[in-house]
């Protein structure tokens, strides 16, 4: 008889569904506040687990677990679950991505209003019996500029509310098209730094990633418009808390509202004693409606999975036949790497993208390969993207993905060619497999070449004149950066050319500047790809799990 463990407090509506599941033979127990051995033992004695963000399900908590088949996160962020460890052990991780969107957007807006009208400070003052009407002069929102970083579900919902308040909205998200932004009344900007001098309010709605960590730090303080009010209802660490303290002290920042903190729970912070600061203890999703929706949806996901094997909203697993995966595994890896490459070469929101199969691969089932390309494109920007949800996430952002196939062979027995169109630019790449599993780049921006698709790449465009390769080699030699392989493609002698170096280390800014100074070189860009043989997290566990196996 399948059993479920509830690891964080869940809305009564979710518990009622669990009670009702007894009639289909599913039992449950609630044990909150677990960690260490008790958590590991509890997980090992149930088939399914459901949690919010309180419990931390790390690799140690899953070690040696031969029973658990699914973990459901009632909420969005799955950063409290080690998904790689779960995948490796064949445990499906699912979430409820949309249930708390509106509540969180409303909380962000409540913070924006609360900051503007000093609600919390005025409330505290009056409760201490002071009738002080001069100290709490506010500002109105109409006519002010709001900057939104991250325009996914919550960012877009905040934008709609800001428009109703007659605010001007600037936005930045690498994966939102101009067309979709225009529909929402958002003026897209090219960089976050570019928007900082112009915004009266800044709110962030991205996951915490290497790119978003300390998006506003010490270095950004001089760029901020004086008196700006900053809001974070996404994840702690997107703003550098030390820089916020400094910005407030210097009078650069006019107000800060935080729902999330670098370390949670957070009960001590220098910010707590400072005027102009409004804080809540991670309450974005804490409404009756949101908690009911995520609990009901989450329990539903778990019961469906345990009773029929149905997988929805998986963040680590695809419900596909392992045999089918085996026949395209190398191409899945290749397409994922091509997606990662193009995302880095472009860096702005594509309007459309395409993938074309030629030769023997076109005769196989390429559905997963296309999905892997989409996952690679989105991976740096969107949390928990995988081959299950990537195409849907592209569509949600208004980005078309076109697939084409032809079985007659070209220069290689199989080629996967991809492109993305963004603004007036088109970026193209094509790859093949050497053997069954060694991805190689065989075309870039229309030029034929041959490079490894792993590790650190320097991609530089130049005019095909004598001496360029030698000069670049000398620069890296002098600066101690070893070149593992070098390849050049050109349209015609003396014409446009592109070089790709596979490097053993990331070149310094100095090395890049020296390359850019070489006569004839037009651009130079570093691209970082996963090491050879390193599979995406959502693929890594496939083939080794013993349960109903995720991919």
Give residues in contact with ligand MLT (CB under 6 A): 52-53, 75-77, 100, 284-285
278's enclosing H/E stretch is strand 277-279
Based on the residue annotation, tell me whether 313 is a catalytic residue of this protein.
no
CB of 59 to ligand MLT, least distance (A): 21
Rounded alpha-carbon distances, angstroms, from residue 169 to 50, 165, 202, 441? 37, 11, 10, 40
Task: Determine the Cα–Cα distance for residues 284 and 272; give it in Å rounded to an integer.
Answer: 19
234 binds, among ligand MLT, ligand NAD, none (CB under 5 to 8 A by kind): ligand NAD
Based on the residue annotation, tell me whether 264 is a catalytic residue of this protein.
yes
314 binds, among ligand MLT, ligand NAD, none (CB under 5 to 8 A by kind): none
Choose between 264 and 403: whose C-beta lies nearer to ligand MLT: 264
CB of 77 to ligand MLT, least distance (A): 3
Based on the residue annotation, tell me whether 379 is a catalytic residue of this protein.
no
CB of 210 to ligand NAD, least distance (A): 9
**Residue 526's beta-bridge partner residues?**
458
- Of the candidates 40, 69, 73, 282, the residue annotated as catalytic is 282
Q: Map tokens 């900057």 to a residue.
A: 147
Q: Taking a C-beta distance cutoff of 8 angstroms, is the pair 487, 449 a contact? A: yes
DSSP secondary structure letter of residue 303: H
458 binds, among ligand NAD, ligand MLT, none (CB under 5 to 8 A by kind): none
CB of 290 to ligand MLT, least distance (A): 8
Q: Taking a C-beta distance cutoff of 8 angstroms, is the pair 484, 503 a contact? A: yes
Please report how many Cα atoms fall inside a 13 Å half-sphere around the Cα of residue 97, on the Cβ side: 17
**List of residues contacting ligand NAD (CB under 6 A):** 76-77, 100-101, 104, 149-155, 172-175, 205-207, 209, 211-212, 233-235, 259-260, 282, 284-285, 381-383
Of 87, 94, 95, 96, whose CA–CA distance to 550 is shortest? Answer: 87
Task: Supply φ then ψ for residue 413, to 5 degrees.
Answer: -65, -30
Give residue 512's Cα distance to chain centre: 27
Choose between 13 and 246: whose C-beta lies nearer to ligand MLT: 13
- Of the candidates 84, 246, 264, 289, the residue annotated as catalytic is 264
Of 205, 194, 122, 125, whose CA–CA distance to 159 is shortest? Answer: 205
CB of 186 to ligand NAD, least distance (A): 12
Choose between 79 and 403: whose C-beta lies nearer to ligand MLT: 79
172 binds, among ligand NAD, ligand MLT, none (CB under 5 to 8 A by kind): ligand NAD
344 binds, among ligand NAD, ligand MLT, none (CB under 5 to 8 A by kind): none
Task: Determine the Cα–Cα distance for residues 213 and 240; give it in Å rounded to an integer.
Answer: 8
539 binds, among ligand NAD, ligand MLT, none (CB under 5 to 8 A by kind): none
Encode 423-455 in three state secondary structure.
CCEEEEEEEEEECCCEEEEEEECCEEEEEECCE
CB of 104 to ligand MLT, least distance (A): 7
Q: What is the DSSP string of 28-91?
A: EEE--S--HHHHHHHHHT-SEEEE-SSS-B-HHHHTT--S--EEEESSS--TTB-HHHHHHTT-
Choose between 80 and 502: whose C-beta lies nearer to ligand MLT: 80
Task: Determine the Cα–Cα distance for residues 5 and 30; give it in Å rounded to an integer.
Answer: 6
Choose between 78 and 116: whose C-beta lies nearer to ligand MLT: 78
46 binds, among ligand NAD, ligand MLT, none (CB under 5 to 8 A by kind): none
- Tokens matching residue 510: 């100095």
- Of the candidates 235, 397, 440, 462, the residue annotated as catalytic is 235
Choose between 53 and 344: whose C-beta lies nearer to ligand MLT: 53
Residue number with the smallest Cβ distance to ligand NAD: 152
Task: Determine the Cα–Cα distance for residues 279 and 258; give it in Å rounded to an integer.
Answer: 5
Residues designated as active site = 235, 264, 282
């Amino acid at each position: 008889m399948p059993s479920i463990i509830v690891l964080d407090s869940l809305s009564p509506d979710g518990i009622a569904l669990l009670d009702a599941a007894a009639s289909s033979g599913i039992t449950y127990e609630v044990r909150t506040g677990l960690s260490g051995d008790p958590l590991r033992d509890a997980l090992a004695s149930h088939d399914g687990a459901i949690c919010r963000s309180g419990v931390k399900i790390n690799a140690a908590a899953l070690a040696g677990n031969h029973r658990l088949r699914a973990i459901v996160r009632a909420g969005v962020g799955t950063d409290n679950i080690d998904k790689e460890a779960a995948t490796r052990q064949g445990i499906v991780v699912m979430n409820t991505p949309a249930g708390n969107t509106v509540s969180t957007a409303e909380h962000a807006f409540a913070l924006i209003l609360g900051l503007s009208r000093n609600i919390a400070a005025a409330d505290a003052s009056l409760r201490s019996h002071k009738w002080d009407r001069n100290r709490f002069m506010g500002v109105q929102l109409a006519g002010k500029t709001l900057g939104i970083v991250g325009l996914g579900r919550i960012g877009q919902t905040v934008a709609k509310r800001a428009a109703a308040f007659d605010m001007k909205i600037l936005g930045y998200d690498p994966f939102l098209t101009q067309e979709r932004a225009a529909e929402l009344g958002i003026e897209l900007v090219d960089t976050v730094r570019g928007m900082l001098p112009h915004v009266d309010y800044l709110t962030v709605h991205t996951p915490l990633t290497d790119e978003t960590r300390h998006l506003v730090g010490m270095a950004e303080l001089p760029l901020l418009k004086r008196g700006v009010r900053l809001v974070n209802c996404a994840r702690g660490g997107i703003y550098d808390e030390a820089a916020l303290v400094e910005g407030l002290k210097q009078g650069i920042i006019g107000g800060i509202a935080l729902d999330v903190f670098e370390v949670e729970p957070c009960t001590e912070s220098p910010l707590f004693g400072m005027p102009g600061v409004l804080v809540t203890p991670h309450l974005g999703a804490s409404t009756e409606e949101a908690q009911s929706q995520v609990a009901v949806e989450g329990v539903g996901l778990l019961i469906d999975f345990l009773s029929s094997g149905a997988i929805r909203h998986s963040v680590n697993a695809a419900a596909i036949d392992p045999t089918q995966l085996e026949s395209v595994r190398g191409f899945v890896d290749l397409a994922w790497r091509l997606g990662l490459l193009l995302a880095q070469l472009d860096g702005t929101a594509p309007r459309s993208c395409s993938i074309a199969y030629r030769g023997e691969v076109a005769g196989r089932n390429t559905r997963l390969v296309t999905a892997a390309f989409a996952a690679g494109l989105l991976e740096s920007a969107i949390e928990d993207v995988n081959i299950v949800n990537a195409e849907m996430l592209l569509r949600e952002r208004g980005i078309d993905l076109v697939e084409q196939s032809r079985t007659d062979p070209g220069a290689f027995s199989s080629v996967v060619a991809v492109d993305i169109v963004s603004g007036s630019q088109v970026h193209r790449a094509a790859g093949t497999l050497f053997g069954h599993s060694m991805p190689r780049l065989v075309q870039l921006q229309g030029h034929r070449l041959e490079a490894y698709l792993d590790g650190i790449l320097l991609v530089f465009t130049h005019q095909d004149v004598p001496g360029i390769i030698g000069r670049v080699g000398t620069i890296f030699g002098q600066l101690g950066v070893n070149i593992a392989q070098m390849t050049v493609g050109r349209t015609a002698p003396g014409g446009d050319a592109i070089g790709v170096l596979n490097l053993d280390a990331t070149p310094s800014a100095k090395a890049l500047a020296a390359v850019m100074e070489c006569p004839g070189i037009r651009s130079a860009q570093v691209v970082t790809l996963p090491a050879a043989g390193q599979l995406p997290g959502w693929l890594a566990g496939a083939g080794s799990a013993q349960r109903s196996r995720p991919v």
